[in-house]
Structure 1
């Protein structure tokens, strides 16, 4: 269904919104190349838990009676900013600038005047380009090491060594 570009409005979520958030989150994970949690029901339960425990806040953008986007965030006192964990626009509504407009609307409605931080998977160059257009710049690189399987050496093939030939 085509929607007017300026029609969607953000509404804060409660744990009762977990089914819509979970469906969108499963699509987001697929789009950004993240490892899947499993069936959509696991995404729904995770959203319900995060919202009911107050670990995150969320909002859905609605156009008429249809959710078209969501945002998930938390205040992070360690960094004195807002960590935007997830932002997603439904696939059928992309490509017309609605994501940029909805994000800027969310900034004004939920985070006005606050520094914002987010992570972008290396497997998601389109996402990185989207965030760069919105003024985000790289400042760190999050890295992950998974535990070794039993009997497998997890150390690097060649250990890193400090250079000693510097003057």
Structure 2
């Protein structure tokens, strides 16, 4: 399997919005945004300090990641990364693309970053299993009364 990460650009907004919508549905999120709103949100992220990269193979786009570098809370000289969204298209799941994408992300985009933070919704047990397999461990629990 040959995968690459490439930086997302304006022409990718439609596919990014569609993948983001699938992610919202898959994780059981309460996010009510429609495709137009998701496209605009992606556009906004592209113009700020967020990074959006597309995971691609020889056939096309496999998934995407949205992340941001932040100063480490316990060090003035280190950075950490916050992965806000990581998505693999349904047709590519359970074939190793997700894990390979993470390994590639760590070596190509997050090299030297010691702490990587993610959030996984409790309504997303498949996501929990994936992140555990990728080496992430629970650190804290955020609870809400809704």
Contact 1:37 1:43 in 2 (8 A): no
Counterpart in the other structure of 2:76: none
1:150 aligns with none
1:40 aligns with 2:35: yes
Aligned-pair CA distance for 1:15: 3.8
Match of 1:8 in 2: 3
- Segment drifting more, 89-98 vs 15-24: 15-24
Deviation per CA, 1:57-100, whole angstroms, max 9, x where unpaired? 11001223521110000012253410000100000011111110
Aligned to 2:117: 117
CA contact (8 A) 1:16 1:48 kept: no
Residue number in structure 1 paired with 2:92: 93
Structure 1 residue 18: Cα displacement: 2.1
- When residues 15 and 77 of structure 1 are mapped into structure 2, their CA distance, relative to the original with a 3 A threshold, is farther
Hey, what does 1:23 align to over in structure 2? 18
Q: How far apart are residue 9 of structure 1 and its match?
A: 1.2
Query: Which structure has more strand as a fraction of its residues?
Result: 2
Q: Is residue 77 of structure 1 aligned with residue 71 of structure 2? A: yes
Q: TM-score scaled by structure 2?
A: 0.88
Match of 2:142 in 1: 142
Structure 1 range deviating more: 6-15 or 106-115:
6-15
Query: How big is the alpha-carbon RMSD for the aligned residues of Structure 1 and Structure 2?
Result: 1.6
In structure 1, stretches of 5+ residues that fail to align are: 1-5, 147-167
Residue correspondence of structure 1 range 125-140 to structure 2 within 5 A: 125-140=125-140
Separation of aligned partners in 2, 1:97 and 1:112: 21
Counterpart contact for 1:73–1:83, Cα < 8 Å: yes
Structure 1 113/27 Cα, relative in aligned 2: closer, same or farther at 3 Å?
A: same
Partners of 1:139 and 1:116 lie apart in 2 by 11
CA distance in 1, matches of 2:141, 2:68: 20
Greater C-alpha radius of gyration: 1
